[in-house]
Every structure is written in structure tokens, then in C-alpha cells.
Amino acid sequence: MMNAYDYASQASGSFALPDACFKVKSLMEDQSSTVEDFANVISVDPSMTSRLLKIANSAVYNFPGEISTISRAITIIGTAAIYNMMLVDVAASAFKHFANQAINLKRFWKISVFTAAAAKNLAIKSNIADIERLFVAGLLANFGELLVAKVDANIAKKIDHYEGSKLPWQVQKHLLGFTYMDVSAELLKIWQIPEKIVLPIRYFNEAQSIQINKDIPVLYLASRLALIECFPQRFSLDELLDSKVFKRLSIDEDDLIFARDIAQIEADDILTMMNANMF
């Protein structure tokens, strides 16, 4: 019987992380790296260059004057944010690569994008630095679903079509012996994604008992807000959320609702842009 690593290994063999990601990660770990070093890696990818300049000139940074060079854009956005941006692009490409008809892709994307947006907004409310890291963790958390669907469509269909009161990861654990998040974590580990991104994915469903850092309860809350957003008739805040978890983040229920409301707007905007290209 296959385990989480087995699924991840099959996937990693058919879809490799681009060299640029490894190069940027290596540069981030080298204290002697310069902005020009990062620019040299990014400049060979026209798509990444275009996106980087677009983001640098967006209202998010509100920088006076047009940003027209890669090095200037890197200075404004920061190398960590650029690395996370690259991972989002990789995720989008990989999602297309592994997509099939065994699961509801629109539902998959809605949960993934909403979890990412909610995680980012909860991180802001919790005064966590590097909010892009949690956006990426939220986006990639359920990636394992695509891998299982690719390898074993029948079992993925059973999990996808389950309509009882059990939580999705409880159904996954029952039918697979592990969760989609376990597969996601194994694949990201193979891809040498930073442990700061992998760790909350691996442990967020155990947030009530594991207290390693704030990232874990953030992803716990974000994933459950996404579940309620996608299945409002089946799940509610009172049923899914342990108040002790969000109190550990020094936020209250009003903060939680605010993060959810902003995530709804952001996720809708992202999904609207994606729909034209993917569905």
C-alpha cells in the first residue's frame, strides 16, 4: 500500500521544480549575494520578469514613479517575497500538469486560494512577519489532492464525493491512511522548499496540541474558514473552530471574521483572473 512519500515521489519524477527556484533559494542563503545576482537569475525568464515589474508598479507598493528595472523591483519587493512569488507560479504550472477529471477542480482551486488569502490576512492580524510565506503555505497545503487523483483516481473520487459530517482530512485518513497535506509536505520536502513553508502544512491539523509557532494555528484557522466558505451548508464556525487556537494568536472572533471577509474579496479577484485561463 502506498504511503504519502510514495505519492510525492511519483509526482516529483514527472514534474520538477525549475532550476531558477533552486538558484534563488541558494542566493538567499548566501549572505554575499547582491541584487544583481538575483536579477541575473530572474532576467532569463520573460514571464517572471513581466510579473515582477507588474507587482512592483502595483498599488500594493504605491511607489512614486515607474519601476522599469529588475534590480529596482527586487529592492522594493524583497528577495523572500520574490522567492514566494516564484513558488506560486510553480504551483500554477504544476496544478495544470496534474489536473484531471477525478476531482472538482473549481472546488479545489477555491479552497486553495481562499486558504492562502485567509492565511495571509490572519498573519497580518497576528503581527507575523513574511506574510507571503503563509500565503504560499495556504496555496500549497492541499496540493496532495492532485497527486492522489493523478495516481489513484478512484479513491480521489470517493473522497471528493463524500457528503457526510466528517472533515475532509478525516475521510482522507480513513481511506488512505494519511492526509493530502502529508503528501503535500513530502513533495515540498523533496523539492527542497524551505521548512518554514513545509512545517505548518504538515502540522496545522494538530494545532490544538502542537505549539511550535504561530504559523500552525494560522493555517489551522485559514483551512477551516476555507472549508466553511466552500461548504456553508455542512460546516459552521462554531463546529470547526477551537477558540483556544485563535486566542493563541492574540486575536478575537471579530478579527477572524474580518480576515475571512477580506479573504473572500481577494480570493474572488484571484479566481476571476484564473477562470479565463484554466476552466
Let me know if residue 80 belongs to a domain: no
The more confident residue out of 116 and 241 is 116
Domain count, the chain: 1
Let me know if residue 164 belongs to a domain: yes
Let me know if residue 89 belongs to a domain: no
The number of residues making up the chain comes to 279
Q: What whole-number distance in Å separates Cα of residue 124 and Cα of residue 277? A: 30
The pTM of the full predicted model, rounded to 2 decimals, is: 0.80
Let me know if residue 274 belongs to a domain: yes
Q: What whole-number distance in Å separates Cα of residue 249 and Cα of residue 215? A: 9
277 pLDDT higher than 60: no
The model's confidence at residue 62, banded by pLDDT at 50, 70 and 90, is low
Let me know if residue 177 belongs to a domain: yes
Structure confidence at residue 279 (pLDDT): 45
Q: What average pLDDT does the segment 31-37 reach?
A: 89
71 pLDDT higher than 70: yes
The more confident residue out of 209 and 154 is 154
Structure confidence at residue 274 (pLDDT): 60
Q: Assign residue 204 the CATH number of its domain.
A: 1.10.3210.10
Structure confidence at residue 181 (pLDDT): 95
Average pLDDT, the chain: 83
59 pLDDT higher than 70: no
The more confident residue out of 177 and 271 is 177
- Reported as a single tens digit per residue, the pLDDT across 230-263 is 888 888 887 887 778 877 888 888 888 888 898 8
Let me know if residue 65 belongs to a domain: no
Q: Which residue type is seen at 210?
A: I
Structure confidence at residue 63 (pLDDT): 73
Rounded to a whole number, what is the largest CA-CA distance in the chain?
Answer: 58
- What angle, 0 to 180 degrees and rounded to 10, lies between the N-to-C axes of helices 46-56 and 79-98? 130
> Based on the number of CB atoms within 10 Å of its own CB, is 49 exposed (0-12), middle (13-18) or buried (19 or more)?
middle
Q: According to the per-residue pLDDT averaged within each range, which of 8-17, 32-41, 157-166, 264-273 is highest?
A: 32-41
Contact 225, 217 (CB under 8 A): no
Structure confidence at residue 218 (pLDDT): 93
Domain that holds residue 187: 4-17+101-278
39 Rama sector, left if φ>0, alpha if ψ -120 to 50, beta otherwise? alpha
Let me know if residue 207 belongs to a domain: yes
Q: Which residue type is seen at 191?
A: W
Percent of the chain with pLDDT over 70: 94
The model's confidence at residue 276, banded by pLDDT at 50, 70 and 90, is very low
Structure confidence at residue 242 (pLDDT): 79
- Reported as a single tens digit per residue, the pLDDT across 178-228 is 999 999 999 888 888 888 889 999 999 888 887 788 899 999 999 999 999
Residues 23, 25, 28, 30, Cα dihedral to 10°: -60
Let me know if residue 120 belongs to a domain: yes
